[in-house]
Amino acid sequence: MTGRVFTIGYEEATPARLIAALKAQGIATLVDVRALANSRKPGFAKRALSAALAEAGIAYQHVPALGTPAEGRAAVRAGRPAEMRRIFGAKLAGTEGQAALAALSAQARAEPVCLLCLEADPAQCHRTLVAEAVGLPITHLAPAAS
Residue 1 pLDDT exceeds 60: no
The tens digit of pLDDT for each residue in 14-60 reads 999 999 999 999 999 999 999 999 999 999 999 999 999 999 999 99
Helix 126-134 to helix 95-110 angle, to the nearest 10 degrees? Answer: 70
The whole-angstrom distance between residue 44's C-alpha and the CA centroid of its chain comes to 12
What global pTM score does this model have? 0.94
Say if residue 93's pLDDT is above 50.
Answer: yes
Q: What is the pLDDT of residue 128?
A: 95
What's the rounded mean pLDDT across residues 102-124? 95
CA 70 to chain centre: 17
Q: Does position 64 have pLDDT exceeding 70, yes or no?
A: yes
- Model pLDDT for residues 131-142, shown as the tens digit of each residue: 999 999 999 999
- Within the chain, where are the H helices? 15-24, 46-55, 70-77, 81-93, 95-110, 126-134
Average pLDDT value for residue range 69-96: 93
